[in-house]
Structure 1
Amino acid sequence: MFSRFFSLCLVLALAPVAAAAEGPLDAWLSARAREHAAWFAAQAAGVEGQTGSLGLWRERAEGDPGIPHFVPPSSLAPLIRAVEASVVNITTVGPRAGGLEGMKKSTGSGFVLTPDGLVVTNNHVVASAQQIAVRLADGREFAASVVGRDASTDVALLRLSGVDLGKLPAVYLGDSDRMAVGDWVVAIGNPFGLDHSVSHGMISAKERVLGVGQFDDFIQTDALINPGNSGGPLFNMKGEVVGVNTAIISQGQGIGFAVPSNLVKELLPNLRENGKLARGWLGVVINDDGSNGGGERQAPLVKDVYKGSPAAAVGIRPGDRLVAVNGRPIGSYLQLLRKVALLAPGTEARLSLTRGTETQEVTVRLVARPAQEATEGLIQRTASEEEMGLVIRDLTPEVAAPLGETAWSGVLVSGVTPRSPADSAGLRAGDVVTEVNRRRVKDVAGVRAALGKGSAGVSILLRVKRGEALQYIAIAR
Structure 2
Amino acid sequence: MSRPARALLALLAAALGLVAAAAAAPPDPAPGRPAPGRRLTVDDLSVVKLRATAVPDARSIAALGQHREGSGVVIDARGLVLTIGYLILEAEQVELSTADGRAFPATVVAYDAATGFGLVRSLVPLPIAPVAFGDSSAIADREPVLIVGFDGVAPAYVVSRRRFVGHWEYLLDEAIYTAPATVNWSGAALLSRQGRLLGIGSLLVPDAAGPGTQVPGNLFVPIDLLKPLLPDLIARGRSSAPPRPWLGLHTQEVQGNVIVTQVLPDAPAERAGIRPGDIVLALDGEPVRGQADFYTRLWSRGSAGVEVALEVLRAGRVQTVAVKTGDRDAYYRRRPTY
Q: Which of 1 and 2 has greater Rg?
A: 1
Kindly indicate which of the two structures has a greater share of residues assigned to strand.
Answer: 2
Judged with a 3 Å threshold, the aligned counterparts in structure 2 of structure 1 residues 258 and 152 are, in CA distance, closer, same or farther, namely same
Matched, 1:77 2:16: yes
Judged with a 3 Å threshold, the aligned counterparts in structure 2 of structure 1 residues 90 and 397 are, in CA distance, closer, same or farther, namely same
Within the candidate set 162, 168, 174, 1:207 is matched to 162
Matched, 1:243 2:192: no
| Aligned-partner Cα distance in 2 for 1:431–1:153 | 25
| Aligned-partner Cα distance in 2 for 1:242–1:224 | 17
Displacement after TM superposition at 1:267 (Å): 2.4
Within the candidate set 250, 271, 275, 2:233 is matched to 271
Q: In the TM superposition, what are the counterparts of 1:54-453 in structure 2 within 5 Å?
A: 74-81=13-20, 82=22, 84-85=42-43, 86-94=46-54, 95=56, 104-162=66-124, 164-165=125-126, 168-190=128-150, 195=151, 197-212=152-167, 213-226=170-183, 228-247=184-203, 249=205, 254-279=216-241, 401=294, 430=309
Judged with a 3 Å threshold, the aligned counterparts in structure 2 of structure 1 residues 399 and 109 are, in CA distance, closer, same or farther, namely closer
Is residue 185–residue 223 contact of structure 1 (8 Å, CA) maintained in 2? no
Is residue 205–residue 216 contact of structure 2 (8 Å, CA) maintained in 1? no
Is residue 114–residue 168 contact of structure 1 (8 Å, CA) maintained in 2? no
Identity %: 26
| Aligned-partner Cα distance in 2 for 1:93–1:239 | 31
Displacement after TM superposition at 1:249 (Å): 3.9
TM (normalized to structure 2)? Answer: 0.56
Displacement after TM superposition at 1:128 (Å): 2.8
TM (normalized to structure 1)? Answer: 0.41
Q: Deviations over 1:255-303 (max 9, x none)?
A: 111001111212222211221233269xxxxxxxxxxxxxxxxxxxxxx
What count of residue pairs does the alignment treat as equivalent? 227
Displacement after TM superposition at 1:399 (Å): 10
Q: Letter of the aligned partner of 1:239 in structure 2?
A: G
Displacement after TM superposition at 1:97 (Å): 6.9
3-state SS of the aligned residue for 1:130?
Answer: strand
Is residue 171–residue 292 contact of structure 2 (8 Å, CA) maintained in 1? no
Q: Letter of the aligned partner of 2:146 in structure 1?
A: V
| Aligned-partner Cα distance in 2 for 1:278–1:205 | 31
Higher relative contact order (CA 8 A, sep 6+): 2
Q: Deviations over 1:215-241 (max 9, x none)?
A: 443101104233x32111001111111
Aligned to 2:278: none
Judged with a 3 Å threshold, the aligned counterparts in structure 2 of structure 1 residues 215 and 72 are, in CA distance, closer, same or farther, namely closer
Aligned to 2:259: none
Q: Deviations over 1:43-88 (max 9, x none)?
A: xxxxxxxxxxxxxxxxxxxxxxxxxxxx977352241251832111
| Aligned-partner Cα distance in 1 for 2:92–2:186 | 18
Alignment root-mean-square deviation, CA: 4.0
Judged with a 3 Å threshold, the aligned counterparts in structure 2 of structure 1 residues 214 and 181 are, in CA distance, closer, same or farther, namely same
Long gaps (5+) in structure 2: 1-9, 24-41, 209-214, 244-283, 301-305, 312-316, 321-338
Judged with a 3 Å threshold, the aligned counterparts in structure 2 of structure 1 residues 206 and 143 are, in CA distance, closer, same or farther, namely same
Aligned to 1:301: none
Aligned to 1:325: none
| Aligned-partner Cα distance in 2 for 1:92–1:431 | 37
Kindly indicate which of the two structures has a greater share of residues assigned to helix.
Answer: 1
Is residue 132–residue 144 contact of structure 1 (8 Å, CA) maintained in 2? yes
| Aligned-partner Cα distance in 1 for 2:235–2:194 | 30
| Aligned-partner Cα distance in 2 for 1:224–1:96 | 33
3-state SS of the aligned residue for 2:166?
Answer: coil
Is residue 208–residue 220 contact of structure 1 (8 Å, CA) maintained in 2? no
Q: Deviations over 1:140-180 (max 9, x none)?
A: 32111111101232110111112x45x63110110011100
| Aligned-partner Cα distance in 1 for 2:96–2:186 | 14
Long gaps (5+) in structure 1: 1-70, 282-390, 408-413, 416-428, 433-465, 470-477
Q: Letter of the aligned partner of 1:189 in structure 2?
A: G
